A and B are shown apart, each in its own frame.
Chain A
Amino acid sequence: AQKVTQAQTEISVVEKEDVTLDCVYETRDTTYYLFWYKQPPSGELVFLIRRNSFDEQNEISGRYSWNFQKSTSSFNFTITASQVVDSAVYFCALSEDQAGTALIFGKGTTLSVSS
């Protein structure tokens, strides 16, 4: 059965520190998609990135980077030089080809960045 595990419930860092949020997934599909969403204190869910199972290239977008490793079923998210505005709950999600388009979310990691 498909499953997404975000083992880190809460992380606290000081501004300018780098932080990595872990995501481990389980799937039997060979075609699947992985996502990261951000939920700031205001409550909306903001899309950050989508990755398909055939593309293991790491991606960098500004201070954000993602490391996808099929060998360890992980899709980790790193924020470089964190800022207070990065404080939010971050969700990793999985969507499988065989299971339709529903997103299976992890429990989320709450990131608190203090100044």
Chain B
Amino acid sequence: DSGVTQTPKHLITATGQRVTLRCSPRSGDLSVYWYQQSLDQGLQFLIQYYNGEERAKGNILERFSAQQFPDLHSELNLSSLELGDSALYFCASSAGTGPGNEQFFGPGTRLTVL
């Protein structure tokens, strides 16, 4: 158990809908990262927050947004969902924000868009 929690574990929804994925980092970790794992794209970095502020952005679509709250939990919002958004979404956390920080991954949320 990494100490990172993600809810829900599974999510099934329809095209055009909006969903919110939730992540609680390990106790004491200030950085939260979101990654998407799909069959065709593999594991891709989406976005990072550090202590409430956006720190880095990867291949995140404009239809997707995220935020980190004062209690350090984070939410990833996916809107106008398309079939291609079906994937496993991971949240990870680390203590700091440097590149050498070990990232601990949550169990993931499996999103299926029908």
Chain A residues in 8 Å Cβ range of B101: 101
- B45-A44 in contact (CB<8A): no
Q: For A35, A45, A99, A108, which residue has the most chain B Cβ atoms within 10 angstroms?
A: A45
Q: Which of A57-65, A70-78, A89-97 forms part of the interface with chain B?
A: A89-97
**Cα(A101)–Cα(B92), bound, Å:** 12
In the complex, 8 of the A-B residue pairs with CB atoms within 8 angstroms, ordered by the A residue number, are A43-B88, A45-B90, A46-B105, A95-B100, A97-B98, A101-B99, A103-B45, A108-B43
Chain B residues in 8 Å Cβ range of A95: 99-100
Determine how close the nearest CB of chain A comes to the CB of B95; give it in whole angstroms: 11
**Residues 53-85 of B at the A interface (beta carbon under 8 Å):** 55-56, 58
**Residues 99-114 of A at the B interface (beta carbon under 8 Å):** 99-108
- A103-B103 in contact (CB<8A): yes
- B residues contacting A by CB (< 8 A) are 2, 31, 33, 35, 42-45, 48, 55-56, 58, 88, 90, 92, 94, 97-108, 110
- A100-B55 in contact (CB<8A): yes
Q: For B31, B44, B55, B103, which residue has the most chain A Cβ atoms within 10 angstroms?
A: B103
**Cα(A103)–Cα(B97), bound, Å:** 12
- A101-B97 in contact (CB<8A): yes
Contacts A43-B107, A45-B105 given: A100-B42 contact, CB under 8 Å?
Answer: no
- A residues contacting B by CB (< 8 A) are 31-33, 35, 37, 43-47, 50, 52, 91, 95-97, 99-108
Determine how close the nearest CB of chain A comes to the CB of B29; give it in whole angstroms: 12
- B100-A50 in contact (CB<8A): yes
Determine how close the nearest CB of chain B comes to the CB of A45; give it in whole angstroms: 4
Instruction: Give 9 nearest A-B pairs by CB, closest first.
Output: A45-B105, A102-B45, A105-B43, A95-B99, A100-B56, A33-B100, A44-B107, A107-B42, A101-B99
**Cα(A79)–Cα(B58), bound, Å:** 32
**Cα(A46)–Cα(B43), bound, Å:** 14
* Least CB separation from A101: chain B residue: B99
**Cα(A106)–Cα(B43), bound, Å:** 8
